[in-house]
Structure 1
Amino acid sequence: MTTALNLAPITGPSAWRGDELSQTDEWIYHLSDAEQTELVTVGTRFVKNNPDLRTVTAAEYPLPVCTDLIAECARQMDSGRGFVLVRGLRTEEYGDTVSGAIFFLMGLHLGVPMKQNQAGDVLDHVIATSNKTLDDPTALPSRVRDRLPFHSDSSDVVALMCLRAAKDGGASSLVSGTTIYNEILRRRPDLAPLLFEPWHWDWYRQDHDAPARFYTSPICSYVDGIFSTYAGSQMIFSAQDYPEVPRLTDEQIELLHLYDEIAQEPGLALDMDFQPGDVQWLLNYAALHSRTGYVDFPEPERRRHLLRLWLRRDVGRPLVSGFGKHTVTAHGDDAGTPLVPGGRFEIAEAVVPNFEWGN
């Protein structure tokens, strides 16, 4: 692992800037007609067969025409810029169920879907279920309309499919964790070593069903020449609400504020306006994500609605011990905390958000 004595800038495709990427569309994979046709055909069969989302496998639903699509998504996440946007699906034409099936199938070919809550759901939703704001300690980030701070999710891969866009706002924002680290190292080399030390994170605010109120993880990992990031200062600050969590030092607080300031500097992030049918694949160790605040349409059925997958994926990436959130278990794994009632394990019901959860 890198120490304070040999910290150095990180180079490579993961060290990108949004103002440079936004001048091209190299980060967008445009589906061919043949790929669209295969995804719809196999997705429709998936809906008809109605398999259990917890146990179905990619081998049961091959996508031979989409080999290049799957390979490019994997390459960009594993060793490229860390993300890719797939565009070309006509979700408004297919309907939510077939669209959700297509999304889930792509996920099966890129990793192992993970449970996202204690009900065991492997397909979750980003949709406002109330008018709460993030100032409310009972609010869940995925269920409010506020702008979100940049953060990492609780998986190797996080993926989003846009079913419906907001009336105004709601752009998806990504920023390179590598670029942020390089900037901290350049501006404050005295603070940079703290990124590799353990920090305490608020688990309850991320998942009200979490088995503990907090967990520990470094913000950065560097093993065998591979740099990884896990960030989200809001969850570090809110963990200070728990008396058993050690108090942050002045240097730690200064570093967290600097991290957020750099992430929000003009030109660093890439903002993308989600269009219905867009699918974003993101490696949590390479880039952080956020969204701008948004205004919904008044009709509930027209609300901004994204489907979300968390994937466990063997990307061949060495990490320091205890790096990242101590996650819930993977798809098909019966270990871990017992489930609570209410899980949705058939695609037709899984694509319907639970408006009672997160209120």
Structure 2
Amino acid sequence: MPPCQTIEPSESNLMTTAIDLSPISGPSSWRGDELATATDWIYHLSDAERAELETVGRRFVTDNPDLRTVTAADYPLPACAGLNAECAHQLDAGRGFVLVRGLRTEEYGDALAGAIFYLMGLHLGVPMKQNELGDVLDHVIATSNKTLDDPTALPSRVRDRLPFHSDSSDVVALMCLRAAQAGGSSSLVSGTTIYNEVLRRRPDLAHLLFEPWHWDWYKQDHDAPAKTYTSPICSYVDGIFSTYAGSSMITSAQDYPEVPRLTEDQIEVLRLYDEITQEPGLALDMDFQPGDVQWLLNYAALHSRTGYVDFPEPERRRHLLRLWLKRDVGRPLVSGFGKNVVQARGEEREETVKDGGRFRIAEAVVPNFEWGN
């Protein structure tokens, strides 16, 4: 076992309590090769749950509420109480993710599929805006043939394999409307397991993960109000461990001269962190089927996807819907953790959104093909 070190609180590292650098255990510490042989991370909808989601989803489409103001109380889902409880448990105290399977999205049309997805999200948290247009329902779909080598490319709008990273919310959710012709698997890796491996191999560098890093905001959203923001990679408060990672965003922030240069130790711990995420057996790969819904706590696991090939017909291209949720369950985090400047809907957002936001379900499920081009 690596030696137990202590980080004392200081203004520079944003810590509020001393931290003992010891291995973290619990259900969020898992390996993909172990989960790949199990199926208990997949929740299969019952007939009653699916029927309720379809019925209430159709009412949602007919009512056509404003996505920025509609609430879970407006659309109760009593038959889905067990579904919601299991998803909440896995997010808050379990592995940090769950895959829900059984929706017949190929029969619904995109508006009904999107309505069901949005309803499920309302019962697990508060949807957040995902860009400066104010969109609360966004898309993962290739809108151009750009690659990540292009500094103007948006990761959600290209076909490249993505590096492991965290999104800017408590929970990120994906619904598969259409799968790729080949590739495009969703990959998850435990942030706890990565940290434990860094600590085991380089206990002298592990403390750096708890110090603030500069992140590229522009690369994630070209309309962002600033080029960068700061956050630690790891948080450990009151016995709760959390992760916020994505080394490509840290590396690209170095393109801005006002950002401090990374030290040799910082470069080394980032390199090690990335190497560990790529080691065989660590990640769990999911081949999305149409109708699959993945719920993921950003603080528990990192996500990525494999590169993919689209069908030649534009209407058959790989298309996922994405939600970012604010889920306030009192999770303790160090100050300034994650992209904390992103606001939940309803918090002074009307004045900040630009023209072009889509706030009704029928329009929200149609991708903005100019975004990311």
Give the alignment's TM-score, normalised by structure 2: 0.95
Matched letter for residue 354 of structure 1: N
Q: Alignment length, in residue pairs?
A: 359
> In structure 2, what is the equivalent of residue 256 of structure 1?
270
Greater shift after overlay, 320-329 or 303-312? Answer: 320-329
Matched residues, percent identical?
Answer: 82
> In structure 2, what is the equivalent of residue 19 of structure 1?
33
Cα distance in 2 between the residues matched to 1:322 and 1:330? 16
SS in 2 for 1:35: helix
Conserved 8 A contact 2:95-2:300 = yes
Matching of residue 191 in structure 1 with residue 205 in structure 2: yes
> In structure 1, what is the equivalent of residue 131 of structure 2?
117
Match of 1:163 among 161, 167, 177: 177
Unaligned runs of 5+ in 2: 9-18
Structure 1 ranges of 4+ moved more than 3 A = none
Cα-to-partner distance string for 1:186-207 (whole Å, 9 max, x where unaligned) = 0110010000000000000011
Matching of residue 39 in structure 1 with residue 43 in structure 2: no
SS in 2 for 1:6: strand
For residue 337 of structure 1, report the CA deviation from its aligned partner: 6.4
Matched letter for residue 68 of structure 2: R
For residue 336 of structure 1, report the CA deviation from its aligned partner: 8.1
Cα distance in 2 between the residues matched to 1:302 and 1:227? 40
Match of 1:205 among 219, 244, 249: 219
Matching of residue 48 in structure 1 with residue 62 in structure 2: yes
Matched letter for residue 173 of structure 2: A
Conserved 8 A contact 1:2-1:223 = no
Matching of residue 88 in structure 1 with residue 92 in structure 2: no
Cα distance in 1 between the residues matched to 2:54 and 2:122? 15
Change (3 A) 1:47 1:2: farther
Conserved 8 A contact 2:182-2:309 = yes
Matched letter for residue 194 of structure 2: I
Cα distance in 2 between the residues matched to 1:9 and 1:277? 37
Matching of residue 358 in structure 1 with residue 372 in structure 2: yes
Match of 2:297 among 283, 290, 306: 283
SS in 2 for 1:288: strand
Matching of residue 269 in structure 1 with residue 283 in structure 2: yes
For residue 79 of structure 1, report the CA deviation from its aligned partner: 0.6
> In structure 1, what is the equivalent of residue 7 of structure 2?
3
> In structure 1, what is the equivalent of residue 15 of structure 2?
none
Conserved 8 A contact 1:166-1:304 = yes
Cα-to-partner distance string for 1:70-96 (whole Å, 9 max, x where unaligned) = 010010000100000000001001111
Matching of residue 300 in structure 1 with residue 304 in structure 2: no
Cα-to-partner distance string for 1:24-76 (whole Å, 9 max, x where unaligned) = 11100000011000000000000000000000010010000000000100100
Unaligned runs of 5+ in 1: none
Cα distance in 1 between the residues matched to 2:345 and 2:40? 32
Matched letter for residue 189 of structure 1: P
Q: What root-mean-square deviation, in Å, do the aligned CA atoms of Structure 1 and Structure 2 show?
A: 1.2
Conserved 8 A contact 2:162-2:305 = yes
> In structure 1, what is the equivalent of residue 158 of structure 2?
144
Conserved 8 A contact 2:142-2:156 = yes
Cα distance in 2 between the residues matched to 1:136 and 1:337? 32
Cα distance in 1 between the residues matched to 2:98 and 2:110? 22
For residue 2 of structure 1, report the CA deviation from its aligned partner: 6.1
For residue 291 of structure 1, report the CA deviation from its aligned partner: 0.1
Cα distance in 2 between the residues matched to 1:253 and 1:303? 37
Cα-to-partner distance string for 1:214-263 (whole Å, 9 max, x where unaligned) = 01000000000000000000000000000000000011001001000000
Conserved 8 A contact 2:56-2:75 = yes
Cα distance in 1 between the residues matched to 2:341 and 2:20? 31
Cα distance in 1 between the residues matched to 2:268 and 2:350? 36
Matched letter for residue 309 of structure 2: V
SS in 2 for 1:132: coil
Cα distance in 1 between the residues matched to 2:351 and 2:249? 22
Conserved 8 A contact 1:133-1:146 = yes
Matching of residue 57 in structure 1 with residue 71 in structure 2: yes
> In structure 1, what is the equivalent of residue 13 of structure 2?
none
Matched letter for residue 330 of structure 2: G
Conserved 8 A contact 2:134-2:349 = no
Match of 2:330 among 316, 329, 333: 316
